[in-house]
Amino acid sequence: MNERLKLIPIALFLIVSAGKAYAHNGEDPNRELRKSTEYITTYQSEFESESDLKGMRKSLDAQLNSLRSRLLLLRNELASDSSVRRCINKDSEIDYFKELDRTLKSSDRFLKQVNKLLDSVK
């Protein structure tokens, strides 16, 4: 159990500060967030249906890349001046806190799946 607890900070570090992060391509951030949510949900469902370690790892890699991309998109949107003003404005099209919460929940599910994978290797 302690070994798995040691992996949690490492996994969070990889999610938040990975060198291989992708920004959105300049399109509508709302649409990018919706697509990202769909991708993550699909990858998480695929993980649950996988029976071999290679498939599980592929699903986890895809989830990690999507989570990285999503976090970078949210960070970039919050960092831009107009986005910060929109975030404060109640009429904002993006509910940043809701989207960050959704991303954190996806990260939690990802970590639980990593633990499941580690348990199956033992």
Matching residue, tokens 């993550």: 40
- pLDDT, residue 110, reads 87
Describe the crossing of helices 96-121 and 53-79 by its angle, rounded to 10 degrees: 160
Higher pLDDT, 43 or 118: 43
Please tell me the pTM assigned to this model: 0.57
pLDDT digits (tens, 9 = 90+) for 46-86: 999 998 888 888 898 888 889 888 888 887 777 675 656 65
Q: Taking a C-beta distance cutoff of 8 angstroms, is the pair 44, 63 a contact?
A: yes
For residue 39, CA distances in Å to 43, 47, 69 come to 6, 12, 11
Looking at residues 22-48, what average pLDDT do you find?
83
Residue given tokens 């806190």 in the structure block: 97
Domain ranges of the chain: 2-8+29-121
Mean pLDDT, residues 6-15 taken together: 55
